[in-house]
Amino acid sequence: MSKQDGRGRQFSPDPIDDAAATIMHLDMDAFFASVELLERPDLVGLPVIVGGRGGRSVVTAATYEARKYGVNSAMPMSVALRRCPNAVVLEPHFERYRHFSEVVMGLCGDVTPLVEPLSIDEAFLDVAGARRLLGTPWEIGTELRRRVYAETGLHCSIGVAATKFIAKLASSRAKPDGLLVIPLAETLGFLHPLPISALWGVGSKTEEQLERLGLRTVGDLANTPLTSLTKMLGAAAGQKLLDLSWARDARVVTLGREEKSVGHEVTFEYDVTDPATIRRELLRMSDQVAVRLRKAGMVGRTVVLKLRFGDFTTITRSRKLEEHTDLGRRIYDEVVEIYELVGRPDSRIRLVGVRMEQLSFAADAALGLWETDEGWREAEQAIDAVAERFGRGFILPAALVTKPNERG
DNA sequence: TCTGGGGTCCTAGGACCC
DNA sequence: TCTGGGGTCCTAGGACCC
């Protein structure tokens, strides 16, 4: 009943043509590591880890050969190398990853305009409309995987299902280098035996809590009263998990979403106690943040300082500005003031970060006057003054001066 | 084993207003 | 003198994801 492709990977039963399974999730396999191997074909088949070389670096990505030794991303490099001493460590090259990401997203765009990039190496596609032209989801997925490999030399895995969440689970189950379609009728049979950590939003902490309730599988959670879940996890999380456990997921594939914040942070190789060093870093990062804002044509309203101390405790302090800005100097002045207010000049500092929140487009923020009733009244008075002098006919059509929040 | 850097979302408390 | 109730905004922290 199952089918294999040229490389011997096992696939779902065939034929699969479920009219409801129209959401596709594409996920690159060991993306950063695979991109590095394009330049180092001599390392193919060996345990390779991508990450920094500093004493405090962590694993950014690892080949499947390295994962066999228990190496995983976000793991401290020191641990990873203890588990896999002969791993080859390569430094990351983010521009290359961005390049290949764009190529792959472009190939997705050939399938359907409804592509939602989730991260640098993942995307959702809504293929409902592509079926007529390009075939079943199975055929579309097979062809897309073939093209990705042909154009980049990189493998990816694809999951297809009726909802985003199940499609994503399917792609991770298909890894590496596979395709898995979950017909609607088989969804719960696929979902319920999985461990609760498979649910979106269940990380190590939540998993621990749920296990204390005796819940180990998604099916266990699905049969738990909502009140038990919300009591433990809060209203939003409890409801969301219960919904996901029954494969209820109304999210649609959306085109892009606007950024909500822009920030930078660095962990020092050694803890820093010298405030001048901290200020220098804050200046550098304020500038970086400002440059990124300007490139995006955006301005930010809230400045956030982040500090992590030698004992790993972390604090954030934020301040809302009088007006939006995209200027490094403005951000720096504010963040330094916040830093001085924290008043721990002699602490050992492990990490500093600067972030801007409450972003809007610079062009919109320039109209910020209209955001307040006072501003609006002033404007009306100004218009009246002009009208008195030159007559109403001189005034712009009302539609052009409608408050932004009253438009469509 | 000792914990990066980029983010998002949720919660909770306090201030403030009516 | 002892004290409501709701709504909104702001801030801090934490869990989570890739």
Q: Report CA(A83)–C1'(B3) in Å, whole number.
A: 16
**Contact (CB, 8 A) for A171 and A190:** no
Write down the catalytic residue from A122, A139, A269, A323.
A122
CATH number for region A1-191: 3.30.70.270
CATH number for region A193-245: 1.10.150.20
- DSSP summary character for residue A201: T
A387 against A251, higher pLDDT = A251
pLDDT tens readout for residues A177-208: 999 999 999 999 999 999 999 999 999 999 99
Q: Report CA(A237)–C1'(B11) in Å, whole number.
A: 11
- For residue A339, report the phi and psi dihedrals to the nearest 5 degrees: -60, -45
Tell me the C-alpha distance between A221 and A213, whole Å. 10
Instruction: Report pLDDT for A346.
Output: 77
Instruction: Report pLDDT for A15.
Output: 53
Residue written as token pair 């490999």: A149
Q: Report CA(A372)–C1'(B18) in Å, whole number.
A: 19
Of A265, A278, A264, the residue nearest A349 (C-alpha): A278
Q: Is A381's pLDDT higher than 90?
A: no
Q: Indicate the domain borders of chain A.
A: 1-191, 193-245, 261-400
Q: Is A398's pLDDT higher than 50?
A: no
Tell me the C-alpha distance between A63 and A31, whole Å. 9
Residue A160 corresponds to which amino acid? V
Q: Is A379's pLDDT higher than 80?
A: no
**Intrachain domains A1-191 and A193-245 with the same fold:** no
What pTM value is reported for the model?
Answer: 0.86
- Whether nucleic acid strand C comes within 7 Å of the CB of A81, the answer is no
Tell me the C-alpha distance between A312 and A186, whole Å. 45
Instruction: Give the pairing type, strands A59-62 and A3-4.
Output: unpaired
Q: Which residue is nearest to nucleotide C17 (CA to C1')?
A: A201
Instruction: Report pLDDT for A392.
Output: 53
Q: Is A86's pLDDT higher than 70?
A: yes
DSSP string, A144-199: HHHHHHHHHS--EEEEEESSHHHHHHHHHHH-SS-EEE--GGGHHHHHTTSBGGGS
Of A91, A57, A54, A58, the residue nearest A73 (C-alpha): A58
Instruction: Report pLDDT for A360.
Output: 94
> For the ranges A91-95, A334-338, A348-352, A380-384, which has the lowest average pLDDT?
A380-384
| Statement: A261-400 belongs to CATH 3.30.1490.100 | yes
Q: Is A408's pLDDT higher than 70?
A: no
